[in-house]
């Protein structure tokens, strides 16, 4: 099943997971789908699509939000956390630390939902873990 981001937004807005998570999905002008998961509505997931992949990106914080002199420690911790987070990786994109997951464009809808739900949860866990290194 390969759908447009609009289709995905529509399906997400109609969905409630077994854990009771709901989604608020909106297609932005930039062509990026912004998804707010009810289990973490402070850090929305941005979904972009290429020919082969769906990219789910959650912005965590900007480099400028890291405490002075703590960047190296933070980077080392983030690299070590990354393999421990199911379905998501940690990345740095133009000065923003991000959590991201990549899926094949033909990923089943239920699996997309699961991935988003887990990513929203992972975001909280990662931020909770490294919070003390931020301003």
Note the residues at the interface with other proteins (CB under 8 A). 28, 30-32, 34, 39-44, 46-53, 55, 57, 59-65, 92-96, 98, 100, 102, 124, 127-128, 131, 134-135
Rounded Cα gap, residues 126 and 132, in angstroms? 11
Whichever of 110 and 124 has its CB closer to other proteins, that residue is 124
Shortest CB 78 distance to other proteins, Å: 14
Contact (Cβ atoms closer than 8 angstroms) between residue 72 and residue 58: no
Contact (Cβ atoms closer than 8 angstroms) between residue 21 and residue 38: yes
E strand or H helix at 46: strand 40-49
Whichever of 104 and 110 has its CB closer to other proteins, that residue is 104
Whichever of 13 and 62 has its CB closer to other proteins, that residue is 62
Rounded Cα gap, residues 95 and 85, in angstroms? 21
Whichever of 55 and 81 has its CB closer to other proteins, that residue is 55
Shortest CB 55 distance to other proteins, Å: 6
Shortest CB 86 distance to other proteins, Å: 19
Residue 117 CB burial class (10 angstroms; 0-12, 13-18, ≥19): buried
Pairing state between β 33-37 and 23-27: antiparallel
Shortest CB 82 distance to other proteins, Å: 16
């Amino acid at each position: 099943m390969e759908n447009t981001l609009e289709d995905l937004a529509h399906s997400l807005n109609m969905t409630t997971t077994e854990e009771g998570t709901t989604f608020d999905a909106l297609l932005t002008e930039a062509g990026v789908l912004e998804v707010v998961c009810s289990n973490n509505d402070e850090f929305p997931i941005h979904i972009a699509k290429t020919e082969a992949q769906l990219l789910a990106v959650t912005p965590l914080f900007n480099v400028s939000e890291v405490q002075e002199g703590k960047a190296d420690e933070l980077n080392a911790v983030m690299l070590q956390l990354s393999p421990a987070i199911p379905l998501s990786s940690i990345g740095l994109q133009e000065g923003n630390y991000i959590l991201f997951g990549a899926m094949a464009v033909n990923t089943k809808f239920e699996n997309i939902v699961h991935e988003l739900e887990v990513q929203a949860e992972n975001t909280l866990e990662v931020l909770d873990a490294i919070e003390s290194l931020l301003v």
